[in-house]
Structure 1
Amino acid sequence: MRKIFFCFLLYAAPSFAQHTIEIKHKYYTMQFDTIQSAELLGYYIQTTAHSTAWPRMPRTGRFSKFTNDPLLAGKVLANDKTYRDWNKKNPQRARDRGHINPFTAFDFAEDAALESMYFSNTCPQAKYFNEHQWQRVEQYVLKLSRGTKTEAPIDSIHVWTGVLINNEHPKKMNDVFEPDYYWKVICYKKDGLPVTEAWLGLNDDSNRDTNPGSIRTDVEKIREMVCRYYPGLVLGF
């Protein structure tokens, strides 16, 4: 199912020569840019076993605290103080620690949940967008893997998810790069046939839409957008 897609663009775009390294955690893989100190792309497989496991790890106590990624020591600028100070000074532009690979996809086990709570797995995300429209996109993937009364669960959903950061005209939360967009691509098989779905969400306070259907798009659009921002980034879809 996985295909390698490499971008070659000849026109001007908000791109740069990214310095990307691959970090393989136990439950997900990330492409991390060491200059922007940001995870550009995350990949994991959403299984039915993981989405239906019980009990779930609660988002309380140690599972509510972000920590430094042991595989990226010294490379991440954002921390709790960064967000706290920014939100205190800019309450109208409050930013969440927006997951790239969502906590709810990894709360089936202690080590998986803690692994999703690395600062390296976050970027500044507009609060309303994160807690409404984007959250519903993430819930959709989980619901798909769990099934409903009328729909059988979909197992082994391949999930690629990432951000688009404009290096030439960046938005910043102090020294931390802020994405223009969050995006997600999922691939799976239904009734023996391949299915691909994609979303591209504007990471801005002006985005007050709660409907995930409003940001549905096709995979070619995602490829085009990623190529504009990161011409050298290798995609797996």
Structure 2
Amino acid sequence: MFFKPRFSTKKYARRGFRLRGNTLVLLFIFFLIGLFLHYGGRTQPVVAFWNDFRQMIGLGRSRADTRKDNPYKAPEPNEPDVATDNRRDKGSQSDESEASDTKTDAPAPTNSPSTASSGNARFDFEKQVNFILPAVKPGDDIVQREGYTLRYRDQYKDADWVAYPLLAYETTGDADRKYEQFKPDPAVSNGTALPSDYTRSGYDRGHLAPAGDFKFSQRIMKETFFMSNITPQTPDFNRGIWKELEELVRTWAIRDKGVYVITGPVLKPGLPTIGKANEVSVPEKFYKVILYCNKPDIRMIGFLLDNTASNASLQQFVVPVDRIEQLTGIDFFPKIPDDLERKLESKSRDEMVADWFAN
């Protein structure tokens, strides 16, 4: 004999409140939207939460999150995009971890690779103050930093050249770009572009003086993240052929115990622009001019590249330096005696390739 309940269990179960699968999905979607809005539209916290949730339920991290981090997409600044001048009174001592933002009407002396630091013998003209700098004019917006010097063009919200000596030891060390953020430059008279001018523009924040050239010092690497040193570059160019050229220059600096580097965009009226707060010109071409001196040996080479991806050999982008001068209107290394300067700047591609790529 079996006990038979007076009520139906099936009927009772149907009367209870039960969330259907679609309802749960909708609630989860609304939760993610709320989380996204809560963080002001920033996706990083939402992605982090999603990855943690996936790990909790045993699905692992998302495929996008397991990819190698893109070193050219540094995090957005936590502070507002406003340049503030944090310079202290003359009598106060600055924090050693802060990058210098000193700006003077005339640039401070730019150090050249010395005999003691590089082992190379210097020409007399190398010993002149600011030997490395291109010709400057009164009223130029020159920014002098510990690691490099640049000329900023407010018309384009870009620097048209950045110059610095690069020694072998400067390319190695523990400094890491992941600790740095892009930031406006308080040393520029009329202000620089803001990091947010590049947001969702389709362009990388491309370095002119590369962070990788200053791995010996976190403080000096920090300087390279000022927006005065940044320019719009297409991602495939910045992470491809341009990165390859930067690595080649570091290889030469090690091989030759020091070189002089001048790099920049080719700026001209009518370029397309990006930006919300500023109109930042997008260069069509970029150049590098490299000089090696070890008395009596001296050689110079120029590179001119389109701001687009390329699989070509770097040797294909070698051009006479006087061609870059014609395009940019910039006089490179004006303190080299005129006859020698003309000889160096007019060399053909084949001559420069033989001089620089032979070893």
Query: Which of 328, 334, 337 is matched with 1:226 structurally?
Result: 328
What is residue 164 of structure 2 aligned with on the other side? Answer: 44
Deviation at 1:3, TM superposition (A): 7.9
What is residue 180 of structure 1 aligned with on the other side? Answer: 284
8 Å CA contact 1:162–1:182 kept in 2: the answer is: yes
Stretches (4+) displaced over 4 A: 1-7
Q: Deviations over 1:23-50 (max 9, x none)?
A: 1011100011122221111000001121
Are positions 1:72 and 2:191 aligned together?
no
Which is richer in strand? 1
Query: Which of 232, 235, 247 is matched with 1:127 structurally?
Result: 235
Deviation at 1:74, TM superposition (A): 5.5
Are positions 1:215 and 2:323 aligned together?
no
Q: Deviations over 1:146-204 (max 9, x none)?
A: 2xxxxxx212311111111221x212124211112110001013684101111001113
Deviation at 1:128, TM superposition (A): 0.7
Aligned length: 202
Deviates more, 1:43-52 or 1:68-77: 68-77
8 Å CA contact 1:171–1:180 kept in 2: the answer is: no
TM-score (norm 1): 0.76
What is residue 236 of structure 1 aligned with on the other side? Answer: 333
What is residue 154 of structure 2 aligned with on the other side? Answer: 34
Cα distance 1:113–1:4, how it changes in 2: closer, same or farther (>3 A)? closer
| Residue identity matched to 2:326 | E
Query: Which of 201, 209, 228 is matched with 2:305 structurally?
Result: 201
Query: Which of 176, 182, 195 is matched with 1:58 structurally?
Result: 176
TM-score (norm 2): 0.52
- Partner Cα separation in structure 1 for residue 230 and residue 186 of structure 2: 15
What is residue 149 of structure 1 aligned with on the other side? Answer: none
- Partner Cα separation in structure 1 for residue 134 and residue 144 of structure 2: 20
Give the number of the structure whose alpha-carbon radius of gyration is greater.
Answer: 2
Seq. identity, % = 19
- Partner Cα separation in structure 2 for residue 82 and residue 34 of structure 1: 15
- Partner Cα separation in structure 1 for residue 266 and residue 294 of structure 2: 30
Cα distance 1:57–1:34, how it changes in 2: closer, same or farther (>3 A)? same
Higher relative contact order by CA 8 Å / sep ≥ 6: 1 or 2?
A: 1
Structure 1: state its 5+ residue gaps: 8-17, 87-93, 147-152, 228-232
Q: How does 1:79-98 map to 2 (within 5 A)?
A: 79=195, 81-86=196-201, 94-98=202-206
Cα distance 1:6–1:42, how it changes in 2: closer, same or farther (>3 A)? closer
Q: How does 1:166-177 map to 2 (within 5 A)?
A: 166-167=268-269, 169-174=270-275, 175-177=279-281
Structure 2: state its 5+ residue gaps: 1-125, 335-359
What is residue 11 of structure 1 aligned with on the other side? Answer: none
- Partner Cα separation in structure 2 for residue 202 and residue 27 of structure 1: 27
Deviates more, 1:133-142 or 1:188-197: 188-197
What is residue 21 of structure 1 aligned with on the other side? Answer: 141
Cα distance 1:100–1:142, how it changes in 2: closer, same or farther (>3 A)? same
- Partner Cα separation in structure 1 for residue 171 and residue 325 of structure 2: 28
Deviation at 1:5, TM superposition (A): 6.8
- Partner Cα separation in structure 1 for residue 185 and residue 310 of structure 2: 32
